[in-house]
Amino acid sequence: MGGWWDMAAEELEQQYSPSRWSPRLGPDEVIQAHLAAAAAGTQRARAGAQTSLHVPYGDGDGEKLDIYLPTDPSGTFPVLVYIHGGYWQCLRGIYLCGHSAGAHLAAMVLATDWTEYGVVPDIKGAVLVSGVYDLEPILHTYVNDALHMSREVAQRNSPLLHIAPAAPAAAACKVLVAMAQHDSPEFRRQSREYVLALRAAGWSVSMLDLAGVDHFDIVEKLSEDSYILTQVILNMILRA
């Protein structure tokens, strides 16, 4: 049985272009709808929370984050760090949530040997949504026109290739890998293989295959209380 390396360039372009797989809208329309949904969700969140916006965490222009706090931030509360997608272009308990390329970045956090930096972050859970975990196939797609990754860089930054046996702290971290029914077969394959690799290394990992959603509305629906992924994330945090 062949793998991604047997695909023609046109097929790889198709597989790693999530907007081409939505049954709801055309490629351009689904991206515009996703941007509009994200902007509207941001406005709702800012209206209902205390915020510290554009807080720098590095020297680069893009190295900023937005912090949302409860309206009454008394006592302790968990922290959810959400990393958006866009193919890397566009000490309370910490929970990571990443979508698409953001899921890759969250997975790289899990793959990091933090002892090299003299810290042990208290990461209690990670929700990785429609992610990409092996970057080598992307070398042969339009995405690399902007990234200019070499094979060595792609392999060094592929979390699927850098899964260490789960230490006690890692074993306590709950990992959920979610994928959409209408993600491309390659995105779905990568999610399944990443789950199997984590499980084989002793990580506490589960997989959620969400029906009726595509690469974009799988996260747009997180604003809905009744959405299963919303409920799973809240349960993960509340049970800790």
Active site residues: 100, 183, 215
CB-CB contact of 38 with 220 (8 Å) = yes
Cα 87 vs. chain centroid, distance in angstroms?
Answer: 11
Q: Which residues are CB-neighbours of 23 under 8 A, at least 6 positions away?
A: 182, 214
CB-CB contact of 51 with 66 (8 Å) = yes
Q: Parallel, antiparallel, or unpaired: how do β-strands 204-210 and 174-180 relate?
A: parallel
139 — phi, psi (to 5°)?
A: -55, -25
DSSP state of 166: P
Give the Å distances, CA to CA, from 94 to 18, 32, 70, 204.
Answer: 29, 31, 16, 16
Beta bridge mates, 81: 96
Q: Which residues are CB-neighbours of 57 under 8 A, at least 6 positions away?
A: 63, 64, 65
What token pair was written down for 60?
């680069």
Count the residues in the chain.
Answer: 240
What token pair was written down for 189?
């394959």
